Amino acid sequence: MSFNQQFDQHGAWRREFALRLKLLSEWLKDHDLLNAAVEERLLRLETQVRSDKVMVAFVAEFSRGKSELINAIFFAGYGRRIMPASAGRTTMCPTELGYDAEVPPCLRLLPIETRLKPQALMEWRAVPEKWTRVDLDVNDPVQLAKALEKVAEVRHVTQNEARALGFWHDEAPQDNPRTDAHGKVEVPRWRHALINIAHPLLKQGLVILDTPGLNAIGAEPELTVSLIPQAHAVVFILAADTGVTKSDLAIWREHLVTDGNDKDARLVVLNKIDTLWDALSTPTQIQAQIDRQRASSADILGLPVTKVIPVSAQKGLVAKVTGDDELLQASCLPALELALAQGVMGQRQKILRSAVTAGMVELRAEAGRVIHIRRRDLSEQMMELRGLRGKNTSVIKHMRSRIEQEHTEFNTSGAKIQAVRSIHLKLLREVFNLLGTPTLKTELAELTRMLKQPGIKLGVKRAYGETFGRLRESLEKARQTSAEIQTMLAESFKQLNSEFGFSLQAPKEPEMLRFLTDLEQIERSHLQYLGVTNILKLAQPDFSDRLVRALATRLRVVYETALGEVELWNKSAASQLDAQLKERRKNFSRRIEAIERIQQAATGLDERIDEIERHENAITALDGKLDELTAQLSDAPPDRPAQAPDTQAAALFRAA
């Protein structure tokens, strides 16, 4: 199954799952099981599944056939090249292809001059008026391809301008671009490009990151320390006729190779194998030459040979456009698509399935607690009413007095419950402070001061280490405080359960360890970026400023996600308490109502017992249906979506 086919199936599963979640929400609401915590968890699950993105980054030095490979894998259906890939036309700026339904089809281009200002790339995304916009006609491949040629535009500037923009380095002259006859330097016209089109795969959440060569990658810190590390797969392209060149190796070592466990997400493509197709050589000789280049490339990059895939993107594109199956097989493009499908999609589905299963377990527990409260209250009522059989009027009257007394005592217990809330919120404020933006700014202040010092900053790695050490300490403290809150909640809930007959259970505390792991990954990507070449670049204040802003942007995502987890945890605990208070008040009302009916008619007792039995049966059925519905959502396999999901899901919930 090709990458495109597997991505189609993944998209169909996501749509079906989101629909089932929406219908489950309506079903829970109809049965009064939708408290604040359940609603929040449903919303998060639906948002996660609907907005799940799969980013594939294509990285290569110039003239390796990267854009042609993107055309062959994703855009052959247009019957022509869409991304500029002709001789002399290549992607000059980082280009993201994705889909946002709220934005019309367009190409947005950020001028290269924005590098002269301190704002990080992520900050510029929030200022749409600073981008040059070109509308796209997705039904006109010629207009589409013509418009996208803009990503290949360049400017010719003086050496001073190139230096200010980050493309000229006096300390590393060997890496500088060539000057023309007038002493001018060629630089990209645009800093970043965003392409928004309703391509079927992009609509389903695929994001393609097309990166320029080494010189442009090194000049944009966010590309290396944020965008590429967050990609779910990186496809690194080499040329079969040259193998691993010095600049290829520099990109690999400085920007791609990691010490982490994400090596499975790295694929190397040995492109342009058609340049080795020689009419004077036999097929066996040609294959032997390809195998030698493949083995040599794998050895130099430190990868198993299976991670290096020989391909002819140009022949693969031609084969798809002309329908030539024999040429398509010879291009080896299907093998690369299979590797992407198994590696990228397989890993992404595994992560999403795990998140969905965990979310459904928590959701089932949240909703199940409400059902448990109702069942327990009905059981208490049943025992109470059966104990009245054969009793006289005075006993029934005494029973009513006792219920009213219990109700009064319960209403005066609010102060104790409020005390629990107060202590809980006080400790939570400590966690919120540790994970808040002001704390993050404070922790980054010393690193920012260090980077803003003039001259070469040889102690920058130590400064990074100290900064991340403090960040780890704050996260660890937040984790420890969360553990204290969890212990306090468990003890408080146990006491309330004992005094008031509740069935409160402390919700699962946030998993702060995963945020510590995220922190380690960010630190690793930054330290890797701070090789000798970029240490010299740090002498430029604007470069240092962009780097620390890129770091702050990425860290803010981690801290805001952690805060969101803590808020959901808090909401789950508070909703549980609110739900049990609400049900207990209802229970008092129902018990008094039952006594009144018994006092008014001799047959009232048996009628009420029968009524409670019917309610108990209904609750058992409700619990069973909740099990069935949540189990179906947990078990839905992303690689085998059901046909006609809308109809099947709707029918299932109508039956419920």
C-alpha neighbours within 13 Å on the C-beta side of residue 462: 4
Which of 331, 347, 372 delimits the end of a domain?
Answer: 331
Domain for residue 589, yes or no? Answer: no
Domain for residue 520, yes or no? Answer: yes
pLDDT in tens, 65-98: 888 999 998 888 888 888 887 665 577 888 999 9
Nearest to 626 by CA among 6, 5, 65, 42: 42
Segments forming the whole domain that contains residue 467: 416-577
Per DSSP, what are the bridge partners of residue 55?
207
HEC letters along 281-316: CCHHHHHHHHHHHHHHHHHHHCCCHHHEEECCHHHH
Q: Is the pLDDT of residue 320 over 90?
A: yes
CATH number at residue 307: 3.40.50.300
Domain for residue 594, yes or no? Answer: no
Cα R_g (the chain), whole angstroms: 31
Nearest to 548 by CA among 447, 442, 468: 447
Q: Please tell me the predicted confidence (pLDDT) of residue 500.
A: 76
Same domain for 207 and 303? yes
Work out the average pLDDT over 617-624.
Answer: 90
Q: Largest Cα–Cα distance in the chain?
A: 113
Least confident of 40-44, 587-591, 642-646: 642-646
Residue 642, class by beta-carbon neighbours within 10 Å (0-12 exposed, 13-18 middle, 19+ buried)? middle
Provide the 3-class DSSP secondary structure of residue 202: helix
pLDDT band, very low/low/confident/very high, at 382 (cuts 50, 70, 90): confident
Q: Taking all residues of the chain, what is their mean pLDDT, rounded to a whole number?
A: 82
Structure-token pair, residue 415: 């102060």
pLDDT in tens, 567-577: 888 888 887 77
Q: In which region does residue 644 sit, left (phi positive, over 0), alpha (psi from -120 to 50) or beta (all else)?
A: left
Which of 331, 358, 387 delimits the end of a domain?
Answer: 331
* b/e map 20-46, b = 16+ CB within 10 Å: bbebbbebbeebebbbebbbbbbebbb
Domain for residue 375, yes or no? Answer: no
Q: Please tell me the predicted confidence (pLDDT) of residue 647.
A: 47
Least confident of 309-318, 480-489, 646-655: 646-655
Contacts 24+ apart (CB under 8 A), 603-610: 605/385, 605/388, 605/389, 608/385, 609/382, 609/385, 609/386
Same domain for 420 and 323? no
Please calculate the CA angle 510-369-416 and round it to the nearest 5 degrees. 75
Least confident of 168-172, 488-492, 634-638: 634-638
Spatial distance between the Cα atoms of 195 and 108, rounded to a whole number of angstroms? 6
Q: Is the pLDDT of residue 223 over 80?
A: no
DSSP structural state of residue 638: T
Domain for residue 495, yes or no? Answer: yes
Domain for residue 569, yes or no? Answer: yes
Q: How many domains does the chain have?
A: 2
Q: Give the alpha-carbon dihedral of 372, 373, 375, 377, to 10 degrees.
A: 160
Domain for residue 393, yes or no? Answer: no
Same domain for 315 and 420? no
pLDDT band, very low/low/confident/very high, at 101 (cuts 50, 70, 90): confident
Phi, psi of 131 (to 5 degrees): -95, 145
pLDDT in tens, 507-564: 888 888 888 888 988 888 887 777 656 666 666 666 777 778 888 888 888 999 898 8
Asked whether the beta carbons of 232 and 348 are under 8 A apart, the reply is yes
The percent of residues above 70 in pLDDT, for the chain, comes to 88
Asked whether the beta carbons of 267 and 298 are under 8 A apart, the reply is no
Which of 331, 346, 369 delimits the end of a domain?
Answer: 331
Domain for residue 420, yes or no? Answer: yes
Work out the average pLDDT over 437-441.
Answer: 86
pLDDT in tens, 287-315: 999 999 999 999 999 889 998 999 999 99
Same domain for 201 and 88? yes
